[in-house]
Amino acid sequence: MDEPLSTPAPVDAPDGEAIITLRTPVEFAGETYRTMRLSEPTAGAWEATDGLDGLEFSMRGLSIASGLPYLAIGLIRVRDIRDGIAALGRMYLDVDEVKPGPEESATERTITLRKPVVLGETYTELRLREPTATEWRAFDHLSGAAADMKAVATITGLPDVVVRQIGIRDLRTAARWLGRFFDNAPATGAAS
Protein backbone atom coordinates (compact mmCIF):
# COMPACT_ATOMS: atom_id res chain seq x y z
CA MET A 1 0.00 0.00 0.00
CA ASP A 2 1.22 3.48 -0.87
CA GLU A 3 2.22 5.96 1.86
CA PRO A 4 -0.22 8.76 2.74
CA LEU A 5 0.32 12.08 0.97
CA SER A 6 1.08 13.84 4.24
CA THR A 7 4.31 11.94 4.96
CA PRO A 8 6.80 14.54 6.29
CA ALA A 9 10.16 15.01 4.61
CA PRO A 10 12.73 12.70 6.20
CA VAL A 11 15.54 15.02 7.21
CA ASP A 12 18.40 13.73 9.32
CA ALA A 13 21.69 15.38 8.49
CA PRO A 14 24.19 17.97 9.75
CA ASP A 15 23.43 21.69 9.66
CA GLY A 16 23.08 22.86 6.08
CA GLU A 17 22.23 19.40 4.78
CA ALA A 18 19.17 17.23 4.36
CA ILE A 19 18.77 13.62 3.28
CA ILE A 20 15.60 12.69 1.44
CA THR A 21 15.00 8.95 1.11
CA LEU A 22 13.24 8.41 -2.19
CA ARG A 23 10.00 6.43 -1.95
CA THR A 24 10.81 4.91 -5.34
CA PRO A 25 14.46 4.60 -6.39
CA VAL A 26 15.34 6.30 -9.68
CA GLU A 27 17.34 4.63 -12.44
CA PHE A 28 19.25 7.03 -14.67
CA ALA A 29 22.31 6.57 -16.91
CA GLY A 30 23.19 3.24 -15.33
CA GLU A 31 22.97 4.59 -11.77
CA THR A 32 20.35 3.91 -9.12
CA TYR A 33 19.52 6.82 -6.83
CA ARG A 34 17.85 5.94 -3.53
CA THR A 35 18.38 9.25 -1.72
CA MET A 36 18.79 12.93 -2.42
CA ARG A 37 21.48 14.31 -0.13
CA LEU A 38 21.01 18.06 -0.24
CA SER A 39 23.92 20.28 0.78
CA GLU A 40 23.74 24.03 1.14
CA PRO A 41 24.65 25.47 -2.27
CA THR A 42 27.34 28.08 -2.66
CA ALA A 43 26.33 31.56 -3.72
CA GLY A 44 27.95 31.05 -7.12
CA ALA A 45 26.16 27.77 -7.76
CA TRP A 46 22.82 29.27 -6.71
CA GLU A 47 23.23 32.01 -9.31
CA ALA A 48 22.25 29.40 -11.93
CA THR A 49 18.65 29.65 -10.63
CA ASP A 50 18.39 33.42 -11.22
CA GLY A 51 15.55 34.22 -13.57
CA LEU A 52 13.89 30.84 -13.08
CA ASP A 53 10.64 30.31 -11.24
CA GLY A 54 8.17 27.61 -10.35
CA LEU A 55 9.06 23.99 -10.94
CA GLU A 56 12.05 24.84 -13.16
CA PHE A 57 13.58 26.85 -10.28
CA SER A 58 12.93 23.99 -7.86
CA MET A 59 14.29 21.24 -10.10
CA ARG A 60 17.43 23.22 -10.95
CA GLY A 61 17.92 24.03 -7.24
CA LEU A 62 17.54 20.36 -6.27
CA SER A 63 20.06 19.34 -8.92
CA ILE A 64 22.55 21.95 -7.68
CA ALA A 65 22.08 21.07 -4.00
CA SER A 66 22.12 17.28 -4.49
CA GLY A 67 24.64 16.90 -7.29
CA LEU A 68 22.16 14.61 -9.07
CA PRO A 69 21.86 15.10 -12.83
CA TYR A 70 19.05 17.48 -13.76
CA LEU A 71 17.41 14.82 -15.94
CA ALA A 72 17.46 12.35 -13.00
CA ILE A 73 15.64 14.95 -10.88
CA GLY A 74 12.89 14.88 -13.50
CA LEU A 75 12.34 11.17 -12.82
CA ILE A 76 11.81 11.57 -9.07
CA ARG A 77 8.22 11.23 -7.80
CA VAL A 78 6.31 14.40 -6.95
CA ARG A 79 6.10 13.78 -3.18
CA ASP A 80 9.88 13.32 -2.98
CA ILE A 81 10.40 16.47 -5.05
CA ARG A 82 8.08 18.34 -2.69
CA ASP A 83 10.04 17.00 0.32
CA GLY A 84 13.28 18.14 -1.32
CA ILE A 85 11.83 21.56 -2.08
CA ALA A 86 10.69 21.90 1.54
CA ALA A 87 14.15 20.95 2.84
CA LEU A 88 15.85 23.33 0.43
CA GLY A 89 13.41 26.07 1.41
CA ARG A 90 14.34 25.61 5.06
CA MET A 91 18.02 25.97 4.14
CA TYR A 92 17.38 28.97 1.93
CA LEU A 93 15.28 30.76 4.54
CA ASP A 94 17.61 29.96 7.46
CA VAL A 95 19.23 33.38 7.62
CA ASP A 96 20.49 35.15 10.70
CA GLU A 97 18.67 38.12 12.20
CA VAL A 98 19.60 41.40 10.52
CA LYS A 99 19.75 43.47 13.71
CA PRO A 100 23.24 44.42 14.88
CA GLY A 101 24.69 42.37 17.72
CA PRO A 102 25.76 43.88 21.06
CA GLU A 103 29.31 44.55 19.80
CA GLU A 104 28.18 46.07 16.49
CA SER A 105 27.00 49.49 15.44
CA ALA A 106 23.92 50.08 13.31
CA THR A 107 26.18 50.70 10.30
CA GLU A 108 28.70 47.83 10.70
CA ARG A 109 28.35 44.08 11.11
CA THR A 110 30.64 41.06 11.04
CA ILE A 111 29.14 37.75 9.92
CA THR A 112 31.05 34.59 10.83
CA LEU A 113 30.78 32.15 7.92
CA ARG A 114 29.10 28.84 8.74
CA LYS A 115 31.60 27.15 6.43
CA PRO A 116 34.92 28.93 5.90
CA VAL A 117 36.10 29.41 2.31
CA VAL A 118 39.60 28.15 1.58
CA LEU A 119 41.16 29.54 -1.61
CA GLY A 120 44.87 29.98 -1.00
CA GLU A 121 43.99 31.52 2.36
CA THR A 122 41.08 30.85 4.70
CA TYR A 123 38.18 33.31 4.86
CA THR A 124 36.04 33.02 7.99
CA GLU A 125 33.96 36.21 8.09
CA LEU A 126 32.28 38.99 6.17
CA ARG A 127 32.88 42.53 7.47
CA LEU A 128 29.97 44.64 6.33
CA ARG A 129 29.27 48.34 6.61
CA GLU A 130 26.89 50.86 5.11
CA PRO A 131 27.69 51.25 1.40
CA THR A 132 28.65 54.51 -0.23
CA ALA A 133 26.77 55.81 -3.28
CA THR A 134 29.70 54.88 -5.53
CA GLU A 135 29.68 51.32 -4.15
CA TRP A 136 25.90 51.13 -4.64
CA ARG A 137 26.41 51.98 -8.30
CA ALA A 138 28.59 48.85 -8.69
CA PHE A 139 25.61 46.55 -8.08
CA ASP A 140 22.52 48.73 -8.58
CA HIS A 141 21.99 47.49 -12.15
CA LEU A 142 22.08 43.81 -11.13
CA SER A 143 19.40 41.59 -9.63
CA GLY A 144 19.06 38.31 -7.73
CA ALA A 145 22.12 36.38 -6.60
CA ALA A 146 24.39 38.37 -8.94
CA ALA A 147 23.41 41.61 -7.16
CA ASP A 148 23.83 40.04 -3.72
CA MET A 149 27.27 38.63 -4.55
CA LYS A 150 28.49 41.88 -6.13
CA ALA A 151 27.21 43.91 -3.16
CA VAL A 152 28.98 41.66 -0.65
CA ALA A 153 32.22 41.61 -2.69
CA THR A 154 32.13 45.40 -3.12
CA ILE A 155 31.45 46.21 0.54
CA THR A 156 33.77 43.59 2.08
CA GLY A 157 36.58 44.00 -0.43
CA LEU A 158 36.72 40.22 -0.87
CA PRO A 159 37.47 38.88 -4.34
CA ASP A 160 34.40 37.79 -6.35
CA VAL A 161 35.76 34.23 -6.49
CA VAL A 162 35.69 34.05 -2.67
CA VAL A 163 32.16 35.44 -2.40
CA ARG A 164 30.93 32.91 -4.99
CA GLN A 165 32.10 30.13 -2.64
CA ILE A 166 30.27 31.24 0.52
CA GLY A 167 27.12 29.36 1.48
CA ILE A 168 23.76 30.68 0.33
CA ARG A 169 22.60 31.22 3.94
CA ASP A 170 25.55 33.50 4.71
CA LEU A 171 25.07 35.36 1.42
CA ARG A 172 21.37 35.90 2.17
CA THR A 173 22.14 37.04 5.72
CA ALA A 174 24.65 39.58 4.39
CA ALA A 175 22.33 40.71 1.59
CA ARG A 176 19.43 41.19 3.99
CA TRP A 177 21.60 43.23 6.34
CA LEU A 178 22.85 45.41 3.49
CA GLY A 179 19.33 45.64 2.05
CA ARG A 180 18.05 47.44 5.12
CA PHE A 181 20.01 50.52 3.99
CA PHE A 182 17.92 50.54 0.82
CA ASP A 183 14.51 49.88 2.41
CA ASN A 184 12.15 52.80 1.83
CA ALA A 185 14.79 54.53 -0.28
CA PRO A 186 13.36 57.09 -2.71
CA ALA A 187 12.96 55.89 -6.27
CA THR A 188 15.75 56.82 -8.69
CA GLY A 189 15.83 57.26 -12.44
CA ALA A 190 13.73 59.13 -14.97
CA ALA A 191 10.55 57.20 -14.19
CA SER A 192 10.39 58.31 -10.55
How confident is the model over 120-174, as pLDDT tens digits? 999 999 999 999 999 999 999 998 889 999 999 999 999 999 999 999 889 999 9
**Closest of 87, 92, 95 to residue 13, by C-alpha:** 87
Question: Residue 1: which pLDDT band, with cuts at 50, 70 and 90?
Answer: very low
DSSP assignments along 58-92, one per residue: HHHHHHHHH---HHHHTTS-HHHHHHHHHHHHHHH
- 95 conformational bin, left if phi > 0, alpha if psi -120 to 50, beta if neither: beta
**d(Cα 129, Cα 174) in Å, to the nearest integer?**
10
**Contact between residue 125 and residue 113 where contact means Cβ atoms under 8 Å apart:** yes
Question: Residue 50: which pLDDT band, with cuts at 50, 70 and 90?
Answer: confident
**Contact between residue 144 and residue 92 where contact means Cβ atoms under 8 Å apart:** no
**d(Cα 120, Cα 110) in Å, to the nearest integer?**
22
pLDDT at 161: 95
CA distances in angstroms from 170 to 9, 20, 53, listed in the order given: 24, 23, 22
pLDDT at 182: 82
**Contact between residue 166 and residue 117 where contact means Cβ atoms under 8 Å apart:** yes
Q: Is the pTM of this model over 0.85?
A: no
The residues near 97 (Cβ < 8 Å, ≥ 6 apart) are none
Domain ranges of the chain: 17-93, 108-179
pLDDT at 157: 96
Kindly report, residue by residue over 10-41, the tens digit of the pLDDT: 444 457 788 999 999 999 999 999 999 999 88
Helix axes 168-179, 78-93, angle to 10 degrees: 50
